[in-house]
Structure 1
């Protein structure tokens, strides 16, 4: 039996942590280093940290903050936001990050995936795909905080990124972000059935059952969640947590 990775996702905004809903209305969560220390105690599998403003503002990653976070982490950490060059990736890996998540830059060229995979290894390179679903238009790939729509179909785009050298895909449904209503299983099936590299589900997790559905019905290799691990109760009080040991055992159901 195999237990898939369950990955808390932290959103950086001006050196603090926030949580969005459908990529809008960020709510302040707290200090990133304090959150990391709690996750250390909870023995989380892995951590994803995303700067939600870097690409939109056209700036580089905040290496000082990222270094502080990485130095506190007892678990592997992936970082995304504002990554456009190989030198930036090199700086991030030197700062202690084990993986980088490249998203908006891929709308212009996938060459950075190919070169980064060749130099640093595909295991260190994750491609981010953000998706929205229109009532009449179906799934659309979006970038730059969902402000720009690409012409590629989701399946074609996933194939392109796999072929360019991505080691994993972080697949996020923007309309599920922060809702805790469950993952988009149809989207997960579409992408996981298209590519051979691991697909990490994001956007919508609220329960252990949602995690299980993404793994068993959606074909995800791992699951990422934000609101599920920072909010509690119907009033969404801020309380950082993780799976209990009993909940972890519930996920020992996906066979490889």
Structure 2
């Protein structure tokens, strides 16, 4: 189990927001940093944390993303507006991987042509598929377009096994609890631990060392974890340093 840190960028600033409010008129912001993205990238580099993700939430965030990748080349993944035509640019800029959701899941369906183009452009070893999901009728489905639209793509063992042929890792946000510091979706954690055979990072609701202990127990130590709004470096009460030490 690794701690995978995050740098979320919104309107040119490092922020922590409730992701499910992104498509709404009033975005709920948990934290706005006075520091730029390079500060956090350097912190993660010093602590030897690899595979953290930089997410560009909308336009106007490229400069901050570049600062992070320059500060920690090879140590961070990049997501937000990535497609087959610009993915190589971000890899060349220092990202270890690109993260995609809406590009390959559009009009509510998995677009294999786009996924294959992306693999052709940068190789599966540089691809993280974000299968952020919500529950509907007792099943998990990928949601896209700032988590506002359900796709018809079910997150289950068969579909995960299929997608593992086209990527190096998965990043999976439990959309209904992400950013709310209200506890994780335990059933999803257990399902992902059973279904995945490649590195997979779970995001959503972890807010204490007790939650981390429970996460480790539920996942058998098989999944990685990311924590955002709950951390003291992002205005929360959970000491970042304690999380780093615990996961080491």
Cα 1:181–1:94 shift into 2, 3 Å? same
Matches of 1:6 and 1:249 in 2, distance apart? 10
Match of 2:16 among 15, 19, 28: 19
TM-score (norm 2): 0.80
Aligned length: 232
> Structure 2: any 5+ residue segments left out of the alignment?
22-27
What's the secondary structure of 1:7's corresponding residue?
coil
Deviation at 1:157, TM superposition (A): 4.1
Q: How does 1:1-256 map to 2 (within 5 A)?
A: 4-24=1-21, 25-27=28-30, 28-30=32-34, 31-54=36-59, 63-73=62-72, 76-85=75-84, 87-108=85-106, 109-118=111-120, 120-134=122-136, 136-155=137-156, 156-163=158-165, 165-219=166-220, 220-229=222-231, 230-233=234-237, 242-244=240-242, 248=244, 250-251=246-247
Matches of 1:12 and 1:196 in 2, distance apart? 30
Cα 1:192–1:115 shift into 2, 3 Å? farther
C-alpha offsets along residues 60-95 of structure 1, whole Å, 9 cap, x if unaligned?
Answer: x9544322211112771001001122x311000111
What's the secondary structure of 1:101's corresponding residue?
strand
What's the secondary structure of 2:131's corresponding residue?
strand
What is the alpha-carbon root mean square deviation over aligned residues? 2.7
Matches of 1:198 and 1:216 in 2, distance apart? 17
Q: Tell me whether 221-230 or 19-28 shows the greater mean CA deviation.
A: 19-28
> Structure 1: any 5+ residue segments left out of the alignment?
55-60
Deviation at 1:40, TM superposition (A): 3.9
Contact 2:14 2:33 in 1 (8 A): yes
Matches of 1:81 and 1:74 in 2, distance apart? 18
C-alpha offsets along residues 199-252 of structure 1, whole Å, 9 cap, x if unaligned?
Answer: 21111111233233333312543111111331234xx9xxxx6233xx555446
Contact 1:215 1:223 in 2 (8 A): no
Contact 1:110 1:161 in 2 (8 A): no
Cα 1:192–1:119 shift into 2, 3 Å? farther
Cα 1:94–1:74 shift into 2, 3 Å? closer
Deviation at 1:32, TM superposition (A): 1.8
Q: Tell me whether 35-44 or 73-82 shows the greater mean CA deviation.
A: 35-44
